[in-house]
Structure 1
């Protein structure tokens, strides 16, 4: 689970180098009406990574 969290943060950091984070933040805002910051962006990726890591551990 911790490994998934770290991977999620690294993926978020990598795609933010290309400006994709601004695109995803704006898309999230338009779909949900909730405005998030870069911290929220990284939190979402960390949670997705942690859930993915936990599901991966459950399969084993």
Structure 2
């Protein structure tokens, strides 16, 4: 789970170098009509990383690895 958290955070950080964080925050604000910030962007990225890590672990368990 920690690897998913760190990979999600690292991926979001790399994307922020190219301005994706601003694009994502503006998109969230437009779609959901809320006042999202860069912190919201990182929180979503971490949550997606954790979910991806958990799904990866489940797939490994089912394959017997």
1:4 aligns to what?
Answer: 4
List runs of 5+ in structure 2 lacking aligned partners. Answer: 61-65
List runs of 5+ in structure 1 lacking aligned partners. Answer: none
1:16 aligns to what?
Answer: 16
1:42 aligns to what?
Answer: 42
Instruction: With the length of structure 2 as denominator, give the TM-score of the two structures.
Output: 0.87
Work out the number of aligned pairs and report it.
60
Instruction: With the length of structure 1 as denominator, give the TM-score of the two structures.
Output: 0.93
- Superposition misfits of 4+ residues, deviation over 2 angstroms: none
Structure possessing the higher relative contact order (Cα contacts under 8 Å, 6 or more residues apart): 1
**Aligned-residue CA RMSD (Å):** 0.7
**Greater Rg, structure 1 or structure 2?**
2
